[in-house]
Amino acid sequence: MHLLDIGGDYTDRNEDLERYGGFVGTTLGRVYYDEGRWEEVEKLEVQVMETCKMKFGADHPDMLTNMANLMSTYRKQGRWEEAKKLEVEVMETCKTKLGPDHPDILTSIINLVSIYRKQGRWEEAEKLKVEVMERSKTKLGVDHPNILTSINNLVIIYKYQDRWEEAEILDIEVMETCKTKFKADHLDILTNIVNLISTYWNQS
């Protein structure tokens, strides 16, 4: 049977054709993405996004996924302002729909931090990273691995701004937490010692 010879009434066929068209568009978009053909990728993603918005509404989960895909395409091209605009829109929609402490919100904030870092907007990146860290502490506990990762990312932000004393304080905090949580020869502890040495070196 031909792939589109699906039987049923006109409405069923119409819905199946839409699903098939979406599948073809997504698959073709993946091919373009793998080949780095960003203009073609963007054109398809915008088309899918607009169709999804018209059919399901602006806050549908598929819509947010499509926006995230388009944002990724912008990031691949270094189009940081456009990527930021979409990420903020995704984040605000998620806050309204899922609540301010949903895991997807933290993911959006982390993505936005990455965009700000790429733009050299360190104050904004720092503000959001502190927000992620504090939320994670409340939700996961102070010694959760995600907290340590957040602190390390904040250390990086401080180092890019030559704020070595603040970086040192956080480096020591991470190292002491790791000592409590892991054995003395654990790889994470050794990594933190190296990071702290680097911090001291840059202050000298």
What is the per-residue pLDDT for 33? 65
Q: What is the pLDDT of residue 12?
A: 45
Note the pLDDT of residue 196.
60
Return residue ranges of the chain for CATH 1.25.40.10.
14-119, 126-204
The b-or-e profile of 182-203 (16+ CB within 10 A means b, else e) is: eeeeeebbeebeebbeebeeee
pLDDT of residue 79: 92
Q: Which residues contact 28 (CB under 8 A, 6 or more apart)?
A: 44
Amino acid letter, 75: R
- Specify the pLDDT at position 197: 58
Per-residue pLDDT of the chain in tens (204 residues, 90 and over written 9)? 333 333 344 344 444 434 434 444 556 666 666 667 778 888 888 888 888 888 888 778 888 888 888 888 898 889 999 999 999 998 888 888 888 777 788 888 888 998 999 999 999 999 998 888 888 778 777 777 777 788 888 888 988 898 988 988 888 888 787 777 766 555 666 666 566 656 667 776
| CB proximity list for 20: less than 8 A, separation 6 or greater | 3, 4
Give CA–CA dist 77/18, Å, rounded: 30
Say which CATH topology domain 126-204 has.
1.25.40
For the domain spanning 14-119, the CATH number is 1.25.40.10
Say how far apart CA 89 and CA 14 lie, in whole Å.
31
